Amino acid sequence: MFELTRERLLNLLVLGLVVLALVLNACGEVTPAPARSSPPAASDARTTNPATASGSETPPATQPVGGSAIPGSPTPGQVFTPATRTTPAATTAVIDANLKGSLVIWDGLNNKLAASLKDQAAAFGKAYPGLKVTLLHYTPDELVYAVEMAVKSGKLPDLLVAPGDYVADFNQLKALQPADKVLDKTFLAGFAPNALGSSQLNGSQWGVPYTYSGTTVMLYNKKLVLNPPATWSELGKLSQPLYDIKTKSIGLSVEINEPFFLTALLGGFGGAVLDSRNQPTLDNPQMVSALTYINQLQKEKTVRDDSRLKDNQIEYAFRDGRLGFYIGPDSLIGQYSGAINPAEADAKLDLGIAPLPRIDQTGQPAAPFSNSQAIFLGAQTSGDRLNGAKVFLQWLARPEQQAAILSKTNLLPASTAFLNSAAVTGNPIWKGLYDQLENGKPQPAALEMRAVWAALRPNLEQVVAGVARPAQAAKQMQQDAQAGIARLAVN
């Protein structure tokens, strides 16, 4: 006869706990997403605004951001269903227990934004417990591929969350329905026009803004500079005394070979990169003026060779109080958020945010592009699922959810009511960012922008290096962009 010794009893107890853990795990919210049948084709690769890349792109799961995954972020390629056992404790009151149905959301956000959306989806699941919400997280390029496959299979999600300019890819795949044909006009009118502009294409409003973001901004150290400069010439005067070879101190860090810098200056001269038919407009007096202005900034030493540092050098210098001004993407604010009104008396960085300076010749502010994150309605979303999607979009526009986006991502939300509240206008950091976004303009979402970005960089580099004259470079940019658009049409 089998005898239950103490050792065997302990073994059975351990085995029982293991089985119980496996059962509970199977009931949890994270399950593997369907495997990809093949990797994206080379043509899937996107060429986007370098200034907004760090705020919109997510590296593959095998390449953690900054050396480690952001805590609480969804795992790429895995499903998250809110209101299950590992979701944070519910703090949201039930709003409507009678709303029934399902809502499927796919996102292609970076880790911090994806974590914010995950938390909000969880809270929404608590507020509407009868509505089953499933959130699937992808890297941006994987999202485009997944949408392509879903169009073919007829299994599109109800909502897609991605950078606004992805509207061109999704629209080409016939994966969307226009937001302005489905949603109330007064609801859409409640968002910042520039934020809406990121997901406009061919005269239609396709997306609802999730953030108002993806721009270029000036960060500065208030320990070194009391007030930000109003013009580029003033920036030169303020930054020059900050250079010191002995202490390795730097006045200004900016990468003038980046197209985002050129397009910001181009906007200050009243220029544009595409016309109303999405054809390039690069060979014009405004582009020549912008390129000439870059040479002027070099000649006057507003921008110096040691202004162009590697990212890790910038990081060390800024935190160490050895860098006065830093021009880069608005996603950097989150990176240095610990230096906003620092409590430590010996803190070397006290972060300030300001719009880019005005162009001396025109008196107009530099006007960088923005590329806000947007929420798109799937082409197949209808009936009860469409009703659930509308409720979710309206819920995200509530003041407390707009505040949650700001606090969790260090990026501005998009509703004009929140943007004009004291939470933004009464805070110098967010007011500075808001002013910059209003000075700029949304990046054109057309596919032709890929050819434009590809044409700008090599010719800009020629001007910076003194190899090409501004007029020559502008002419070559136009030719290169036209050739690139022709290749897009063939592909």
Q: Could you tell me if 421 and 449 lie in one domain?
A: no
Q: Could you tell me if 285 and 341 lie in one domain?
A: yes
pLDDT tens, N- to C-terminus, the chain (491 residues): 333 443 443 444 434 443 343 433 333 333 333 433 333 333 343 544 544 443 433 333 322 222 223 333 343 343 433 333 333 334 568 888 888 999 999 999 999 999 999 999 999 999 999 999 999 999 988 999 999 999 999 999 999 999 999 999 999 999 999 999 999 999 999 999 999 999 999 999 999 999 999 999 999 999 999 999 999 999 999 999 999 999 999 999 999 999 999 999 999 999 999 999 999 999 999 999 999 999 999 999 999 887 777 777 898 999 999 999 999 999 999 999 999 999 898 999 999 999 999 999 999 999 999 999 999 999 999 999 999 999 999 999 999 999 999 999 999 999 999 999 999 999 999 999 999 999 999 999 999 999 999 999 999 999 999 999 999 999 999 999 999 999 998 76
DSSP 341-386: S---TT-S--EEEEPPPBPTTT-PBP--EE--EEEEEETT--HHHH
**Does 14 fall in a domain?**
no
Residue 462 has a pLDDT of 98
**Does 410 fall in a domain?**
yes
pTM (two decimals):
0.83
Helices (H), 229-284: 232-239, 259-268
Q: Could you tell me if 388 and 421 lie in one domain?
A: yes
Q: Could you tell me if 382 and 332 lie in one domain?
A: no
Q: Could you tell me if 257 and 347 lie in one domain?
A: yes
Residue located via tokens 């502008």: 474
Q: Could you tell me if 415 and 268 lie in one domain?
A: no
Q: Could you tell me if 197 and 256 lie in one domain?
A: no
Residue 98 has a pLDDT of 84
Task: Provide the CATH number for the domain around residue 316.
Answer: 3.40.190.10
Q: Could you tell me if 290 and 348 lie in one domain?
A: yes
Q: Could you tell me if 359 and 378 lie in one domain?
A: no
**Does 229 fall in a domain?**
yes
Give whole-number Cα distances, 352 to 169, 214, 340, in Å: 36, 18, 8
Residue 491 has a pLDDT of 67
**Does 29 fall in a domain?**
no
**Does 34 fall in a domain?**
no
Residue 144 has a pLDDT of 96
Residue 80 has a pLDDT of 36
The residue type found at 384 is: D
Residue 140 has a pLDDT of 87
Hey, what are 330's tokens? 């608005």
Alpha-carbon gap, residue 442 to 449, rounded angstroms? 12
**Does 467 fall in a domain?**
yes
Residue 91 has a pLDDT of 56
**Does 3 fall in a domain?**
no
**Does 9 fall in a domain?**
no
Q: Could you tell me if 250 and 208 lie in one domain?
A: no
Identify the domain containing residue 435 by its residue range: 41-213+370-442
Q: How many other C-beta atoms can be found within 10 angstroms of the C-beta atom of residue 102?
A: 12
Q: Could you tell me if 486 and 396 lie in one domain?
A: no
Q: Could you tell me if 344 and 376 lie in one domain?
A: no
Number of domains in the chain: 2
